[in-house]
Structure 1
Amino acid sequence: MRKDIKVPEVKNVTLAITREVNTHNEAEWNVHLINRNNHDIENTLVASTGYGELNGEHQKTSTLRHFLETVPARGTALIEPINAEIFHLNNEFWVSYYIDGKIYDKKFIFLPDTIKEENLIYIKELDMEGVLHS
């Protein structure tokens, strides 16, 4: 039965949405995966989608899927750019990866309006400011 399936707990893997200022002095936002483990993670799949409401009208973005072959121990990987126009939505990222042949997966959700200037912190692994998923 389903209760008999042991799902390993995701540890030391998280996401960050960072802000960089481009040469036109405009903010560019990107999603990064951070591997804080002392071992690589392999065959990582990330599915991202946004959903929610604006003025009582349901909104949903396309689902994007990304594959990362290896994210090194204590390393990071750029997942995708993200448009600030969808920060009013739930921004969901489903991350699945393998360690020693076992699959791990976790859903990370950045809630509406949490990706904003006042929530930026310094993220040492990326050496930039962003919103770190807790």
Structure 2
Amino acid sequence: MKKDIEIPQVEDLYVAAVREKHEEYGTQDWNAYLINAGEKPLETVLIVSRGYDGNKETSTMRHTIKVLPAKSFAKVEFLEEKVLALNNEFSISFFSEGKMFHKNYIFRKNTINEKALQELPVMTKKGVLLK
């Protein structure tokens, strides 16, 4: 029975941490983005995020994006400096072409930093990218 369940593979969906200037406060903040580099829109995108390391754990955050169009991106959440020292997990589920998809993305502790910046797909910015 279990062998008959089809679990489609997630492709062209990325999570990125981007360092940006906060216009109101003038600070340089890290923000998490979801990037759809695919040719199809994603519907009912559910994002559950949390930070953890041993006995340290953040609150669980939940976000929804009704539709993430093809070749687009959306800001998910602000990443406070203190949580960068933790593992930051983003569990993402969505529908596309009548099928449900799911994938976990994990920024390992201390991997979100200036040295890890690279060009991001779809966005015209640099960031730390998870595929």
Tell me which interval the TM-score lies in, with the shorter structure as reference length: over 0.9
Corresponding position of 1:11: 11
Corresponding position of 2:36: 35
User: d(CA) in 2 for partners of 1:87 and 1:21?
Assistant: 17
Structure 1 segments of 4+ aligned residues over 6 angstroms from their partners: none
| Fraction of identical pairs, as percent | 35
The alignment partner of 1:105 has SS state of: strand
CA RMSD of superposed structures (Å)? 1.3
User: d(CA) in 2 for partners of 1:5 and 1:93?
Assistant: 24
The alignment partner of 1:87 has SS state of: helix
The CA deviation string for residues 15-58 of structure 1, in whole angstroms up to 9 with x for no partner, is 101001235552111111111111101000000001004xxxx2
The alignment partner of 1:11 has SS state of: coil
Corresponding position of 1:128: 125
Once the two structures are superposed, the pairs formed by residues 1-134 of structure 1 within 5 Å of their partners are 1-23=1-23, 24-53=25-54, 58-134=55-131
Asked whether the 8 Å contact 2:45–2:95 carries over to 1, the reply is yes
The alignment partner of 1:8 has SS state of: coil
The CA deviation string for residues 41-100 of structure 1, in whole angstroms up to 9 with x for no partner, is 1000000001004xxxx2000100101000001111111111121111110000000012
Q: Which amino acid is the alignment partner of residue 84 of structure 2?
A: F
Deviation at 1:124, TM superposition (A): 4.7
| Structure 1 unaligned residues grouped into runs of 5+ | none
User: d(CA) in 1 for partners of 2:74 and 2:26?
Assistant: 24
Aligned residues: 130
User: d(CA) in 1 for partners of 2:50 and 2:84?
Assistant: 12
Q: Which amino acid is the alignment partner of residue 44 of structure 2?
A: N
| Structure 2 unaligned residues grouped into runs of 5+ | none
